[in-house]
Structure 1
Amino acid sequence: MGRQLAVAFVATALGACAHAPARPDMHPANRGDASWHAVEQPDTVHYQLALGEVSSGGKPLARVTPAYPASRLQACVPVVDVIAKLIVDTSGKVTEVRPGDADAAAPGLRPFLAATREAALRWRFDPLQIDHWSADANGESHVVDSRTEPFSLDYVFRFTCHSGRARVSVDDQAAAG
């Protein structure tokens, strides 16, 4: 019974990590709504949990919406998508923001990448914790070991402009890798 409970708990916890609700924080420079969109890149690597291990955390706690680059507002490019990998340390702080491979090579995206980096470095996440559960002789489950791990998530930041009005959005839809 204890083992079945642990397996059910693992499945529930992993499923909960897979989808985080969107809670936008508006930057004063933006005029419009914002939401977040996480994506899973083909090269994403996930933690492999051993039998009895459960992961929790890895969800955004505080997000800052990038400001639409003022230098690009006059051009009013209809849609610019920027892919960025957010590297998160064991305390839940974003320590690095890496552009997607194609984005890094595009000179026209540099102002959008800079805006994305500036905002994303202020994001905070619930630390990713991995607990190892085991059952005792009575079948009672308990945590025998716990650790926090760094992780990364890929996000698509969408910058849009219509008639001189800018909007930036990002939506959650993927798990931590």
Structure 2
Amino acid sequence: MTTPSTGKSVHAAAWLLAGIAALGGCRRAAVRVDPPNRGDVSYRALIDPAQPRYVLEPRQSFSKPEPVDHPAPVYPPELLPLRLPAQTFAAKVIVGADGRVVDVRMLAAPGASAPPHADAFAAAIRRAVTAWTYTPLRIVTWAETDRGAEARRVETRPFSLDYAFTFAVKDGRPVVTNDAK
């Protein structure tokens, strides 16, 4: 059968449309499957206004260090079967002048005792965080010249940031939460 206006076969077009409709019925929705025995972890920076900061002199500016690579810690696989309640730990991340982490210090609330399995969570934090990198913190000293302001000296400096890490498993499956309690 052909259409009068185009002279093309309607029969072939009908088969093509039927085939597309049949294939559309076979399409599956994408399903996310989490790997078994893997917990997820969230983390966030803690801002402490009382923490010492660099004081800039007149004619100085700084470039804020930015995270370059920040893999999250992995939930300790040996603890997943225990179905522990959400665990939040704080750590001070000390970064060298080159932007690489040089030390990770676990922070405890004053008077608080370490929760069960704290060593395994702390080890997971240390393993991940020691791989973190940042752009260096740069302090620039400017000078006025006949051509305008000019950078006279650029120094990179070490810095530290505090983070809260929350490890959680719900119904035997990993979940991510930003609730630091």
TM-score by length of 2: 0.69
**Gapped regions of structure 1 (runs ≥ 5):** 1-27, 172-177
Structure possessing the higher radius of gyration over alpha carbons: 2
What is residue 131 of structure 1 aligned with on the other side?
Answer: 140
What is residue 10 of structure 2 aligned with on the other side?
Answer: none
- Of 90, 113, 120 in structure 2, the residue corresponding to residue 111 of structure 1 is 120
In the TM superposition, 1:22-171 aligns within 5 A as 30=38, 36-41=43-48, 43-102=50-109, 105-108=113-116, 109-137=118-146, 140-167=148-175
CA distance, structure 2, for counterparts of residue 45 and residue 29 of structure 1: 41
| Cα distance, 1:166 vs structure 2 | 2.2
CA distance, structure 2, for counterparts of residue 76 and residue 69 of structure 1: 12
**Given that residues 68 and 167 in structure 1 are in contact (C-alpha distance below 8 angstroms), is that contact kept between their aligned partners in structure 2?**
no
Matched-pair identity in %: 34
| Cα distance, 1:41 vs structure 2 | 3.4
The CA RMSD measured in Å over matched residues stands at 2.6
TM-score by length of 1: 0.70
- Deviation digits for residues 21-54 of structure 1, max 9, x if unmatched? xxxxxxx97465x654100236511111111111
CA distance, structure 1, for counterparts of residue 162 and residue 127 of structure 2: 16
Q: SS state of the match for residue 102, structure 1? A: coil
Q: SS state of the match for residue 122, structure 2? A: helix
CA distance, structure 2, for counterparts of residue 95 and residue 70 of structure 1: 26
CA distance, structure 2, for counterparts of residue 29 and residue 128 of structure 1: 38
Q: From the superposition, tell whether residues 43 and 57 of structure 1 become closer, same or farther in structure 2 (CA, over 3 Å).
A: closer
